[in-house]
Amino acid sequence: MPQCKKTAIHRFPALFPTSVCALNNVMSQPREKIATESYNSHYQGVDEWPLRQMIDALLDDQTRSLQAVRAAVPMLAAAAEAAARRLEASEKGRIIYAGAGTSIRIGVQDGTELTPTFGWPASRVEHMIAGGAIALSQAIENAEDSAEDAIRRVTELGVDLHDVCIAVAASGVTPYTVAACRSARNAGALTIGIASNPHSPLLQTAEFPVFVNSGAEPVSGSTRMNAGTAQKAAINMLSTAIMTRLGRVHDGLMVNLIPTNEKLRHRAVSIVATIAACPEPTARQALESAHEAYGGVTENNIKLAILLAKGLPLEQARSLLTRHHSHLRPILAALTSNF
């Protein structure tokens, strides 16, 4: 009987959902048998092509990788629904992105934009980055192979049942990412795994496995291309769906936007005027009143301003927002039915 090579999976069997040998075999199989590592013969001779031909072919591949995400829509929707419920149930629940290399860089970009776009508290976003923050701007050799670092990071963050962990790895076999996902799940977090290889350890580990079939890369193994494009689309849709379900988007508008600069202040006025169906001067005055009521700029300024612009007294508006967990839709529906 051949013996399993001792890897992070072997040293930490409790972190993985199937047998140690089975997962070890997946991770030690020839890399060309992993879809994201396989050779794309379509690009044979690419270094001799006219650049226009090459770029056309690259665009075709990028387009196909985006189309491949469509098959993952049902799982993305289920994951977003469950994540929104988990996050709304507690004021301390966080969205935690986990991964290595290109995958976590995409995750960090998404997480960083949740606050300015949706007013999601920065304190409720965390990252588990193989190699640490420095790995966002330079390669840290062997960082992705350390399951120990992932387990340590889960402990440092105090991951628990209030949290949502989004773990991303193009190959689906990255030890750091798989260990982070499994350890977070063992700690009670809701886990979502995104990978471009079917039946990979990450997809077997996550509660919500999202398979995006981006296929072989134009530059073999360079998953910043097809897989990266598919990951970005999947994560974009996932986080936007979560934030929308949490009431932070109304009719396609950023109703939890925090207006911290001139551009965003103009946008806030436009949002209030659009939803409240009022002139911009009225919207601007309502925003000033909301600012005074909250003692500064907060994630609820726009929602309060909308209700003030529609004629509600300040205390009634604040009470309605509290009662409906800051969801505008039921409040506006009730106001409409009263007229």
In sequence order, what DSSP letters do the residues of 138-194 get, joined into one string? S--TTGGG-HHHHHHHHHHHT--TT-EEEEE-SSS--HHHHHHHHHHHHTT-EEEEE
CA distances from 29 to 5, 22, 197, 261, 290 (A): 12, 11, 13, 52, 60
Q: What is the pLDDT of residue 339?
A: 55
Active site residue 32: no
Using CA of residue 284, residue 290, residue 295, residue 298, what is the dihedral sign?
negative
Domain with CATH 1.10.8 in the chain: 262-337
Q: At CA 214, angle to CA 190 and CA 231, rounded to 5?
A: 40
Q: In this predicted model, which residue has the larger pLDDT, 79 or 22?
A: 79
Report the range of poorest mean pLDDT among 31-35, 148-152, 217-221, 312-316.
31-35
Q: Which of 81, 113, 148, 207 is catalytic?
A: 113
Fold exhibited by the domain 8-245:
Rossmann fold (3.40.50)
- Contact between residue 45 and residue 154 where contact means Cβ atoms under 8 Å apart: no
CATH architecture of 262-337: Orthogonal Bundle (1.10)
Give per-residue pLDDT as tens, 139-184: 887 899 999 999 999 999 999 999 999 999 999 999 999 999 999 9
* Residue 182 CB coordination number (10 Å): 29
Q: How confident is the model at residue 33 (pLDDT cuts 50, 70, 90)?
A: low
Active site residue 280: no
Q: Averaged over 32-59, what is the pLDDT?
A: 87
Cα–Cα distance for residue pair 97/169, rounded to 1 Å: 11
Query: Residue 26: how many CA atoms within 13 Å on its side-chain side?
Result: 23
**Local structure of 281: helix, strand or coil:** helix
Residues 34, 202: Cα–Cα separation, whole Å: 14
Residue in 37, 144, 217, 299 annotated catalytic: 144
Say how many C-beta atoms besides its own lie within 10 A of residue 330's C-beta. 13
Tens digit of pLDDT for each residue in 234-284? 999 999 999 999 999 999 999 999 888 899 999 999 999 999 999 999 999
| pTM exceeds 0.85, yes or no | yes
Q: Which residue intervals of the chain bear CATH 3.40.50.10490?
A: 8-245
Task: For 189, list phi and psi in degrees, rounded to 5.
Answer: -70, 150
| Alpha-carbon gap, residue 241 to 99, rounded angstroms | 21
